[in-house]
Amino acid sequence: MHRTAAIISQGDEIVIGQTLDTNSKWIAARLLDRGIVPLEHVSLPDDRAAIASALMRLAARVDLILCSGGLGPTADDLTRFALCDASDDTLREDADALAQIAAWFASRGRAMNELNKVQAQRPSRAAFLPNEFGTAPGIRTRIGLCDVFCLPGPPRELAPMFDRLVTPLLQPDPSRTVRVRVLHTIGLGESEIASRFRDAPGGNLMARDRSPLIGTTASNSVVSCRIRYEGPLSAGEADQLIARDEAAIRALISEAIFGEDEETLASVIVRTLRERAQTITTIESCTGGMVASQLTDIAGASDVLRTGWVTYANEVKTREVGVPDSLFKDSAESKAPGAVSAEVATAMAQGGLQSANADYAIAITGIAGPSGGTLDKPVGTVFVALASRSHAPDVRRFAFTGDRSAIREWSARAALATLWLNLSNRRGVRLLRQV
């Protein structure tokens, strides 16, 4: 029975901060979907003793361990050795695994490298898990009473192997239910939300001893509220409890909720526009394609975003979306507002709306830094303008802080948030960092 799990990711490159581990998050979400609760993630260097020690510590505490990485062909791939140490086993060559690796190379017209042969080795009491997308087979074994699955590190290999080979072998506790519901908000700070939850009519929604448990997480301007049930009730009963809490939360912060669970601002926008058969165009300066990229990451975006522009240079803003040249250049009688201004943002949006013949156009112009700031408009000054067929433009000025990358992320988020506020008739709502 698998009630609880731990997730181990391996590799010097992760522990020294060269590579971001995304596998652990992905595996955790998959396990929770099946009602198995992840209790810990650990990242370890290519150190056989450290890996073996973590395997033994965690095997004594959880029912299931998922490892990623360390199965490659090179001398710094040590998972198979650490598994032997932790389970008092020895390595042997797996004929099926060897045949699979040879076939993988043959199908690509390449010769199998001698080094790849080590990838066919596994602890003698373990089983191998075939890998269709790479050369490293996975390994399935047991340490004491704990089931252990080791998968290769590349996410494109790990994900299909998990779904096809690990998922069918998971044994969640049928008498225990785990259900999670997440509501995503924009425009309210985390402490404002917590304060409303604390003073809720039915008592503090965030008390640590209540069930379901309610928590919040802030990520840039999005605050997510998580309702989580874990206990003996049936899934139906748990869902009722969660629905009751969801209703209570919606009553307290309805103006700020834009999506649920896996939804993002981009996915909600694409879905809404598709439902209404409307289109959007993007005209981006400092975000340089991020807003278009986030929208087009959603399947079906091609119905919605048919054109987008990256208009960095002033003459491109003029040539592509007709921003009047006079807005950039000082004339004798008046000072021009300049490229980073409400006027230019508005002209970009209105010009893009016309050129693309879209229902909405979102424009962003700002100073992402590190250079380019002035006293009046320091680095982090960003203007977002939304033009539409139905309303006057919605133009907002923001003062963001952080490095170039942070300011760009905030800017893209602010653009999507402005769009969502307009799509959902909440034009009056101010956003965080709006000045």
Near its own copies in 356-415, by CB under 8 A: 356, 369-371, 401-406, 408
Contact with its own copies (CB under 8 A) among 19, 211, 354, 424:
19
Q: What is the largest CA-CA distance in the chain?
A: 86
Q: Which of 78, 60, 61 is nearest to 69 (CA)?
A: 78
Contact with its own copies (CB under 8 A) among 113, 124, 326, 374:
113
| CB 69 within 8 Å of CB 78 | no
Cα-Cα-Cα-Cα dihedral of 369, 371, 373, 375, to 10°? 140
Cα-Cα-Cα-Cα dihedral of 78, 80, 86, 89, to 10°? -140
Contact stretch for its own copies (CB under 8 A) within 167-175, 207-215, 325-333, 419-427: 207-215
Q: Which of 433, 434, 420 is nearest to 256 (CA)?
A: 420
> Left (φ > 0), alpha (ψ -120 to 50) or beta: where does 69 sit?
left
Q: Which two tokens stand for residue 106?
A: 């043959």
Contact with its own copies (CB under 8 A) among 1, 34, 50, 399:
50
Measured from the CB atom, the residue of 29 and 235 that comes closer to its own copies is 29
Q: Taking the complex as a whole, how short is the minimal distance between the CB of residue 114 and its own copies, in angstroms?
A: 7
Please list every residue from 286 through 305 that binds its own copies, using CB under 8 A.
Answer: 286-293, 295-297, 299, 301-302, 305
Measured from the CB atom, the residue of 125 and 404 that comes closer to its own copies is 404
Q: Taking the complex as a whole, how short is the minimal distance between the CB of residue 303 and its own copies, in angstroms?
A: 9
Contact with its own copies (CB under 8 A) among 34, 41, 271, 397:
41
Q: Is 276 helix (H, G, I), strand (E, B) or coil?
A: coil
Q: Is 13 helix (H, G, I), strand (E, B) or coil?
A: helix
- Interface with its own copies, residue 187, by CB under 8 A: no
- Interface with its own copies, residue 14, by CB under 8 A: yes
Contact with its own copies (CB under 8 A) among 1, 26, 237, 431:
26
Q: Taking the complex as a whole, how short is the minimal distance between the CB of residue 75 and its own copies, in angstroms?
A: 4
Rounded Cα gap, residues 143 and 55, in angstroms: 8
Measured from the CB atom, the residue of 272 and 307 that comes closer to its own copies is 307
Contact with its own copies (CB under 8 A) among 90, 171, 175, 191:
191
Residue by residue, what is the 3-state secondary structure of 184-246?
EEECCCHHHHHHHHHCCCCCCCCCCCCCCEEEEEEECCEEEEEEEEEECCCHHHHHHHHHHHH
Contact stretch for its own copies (CB under 8 A) within 12-20, 270-278, 383-391, 423-431: 12-20
Please list every residue from 305 through 364 that binds its own copies, using CB under 8 A.
Answer: 305-313, 315-316, 320, 356
Please list every residue from 122 through 181 that binds its own copies, using CB under 8 A.
Answer: 133, 135, 153-156, 159, 180
What separation in angstroms does the CA of 365 have from each of 35, 164, 311?
45, 45, 9
Contact with its own copies (CB under 8 A) among 192, 260, 325, 330:
192
- Sign of CA pseudo-dihedral 56, 61, 63, 69: negative
Contact stretch for its own copies (CB under 8 A) within 32-40, 86-94, 388-396, 418-426: 32-40
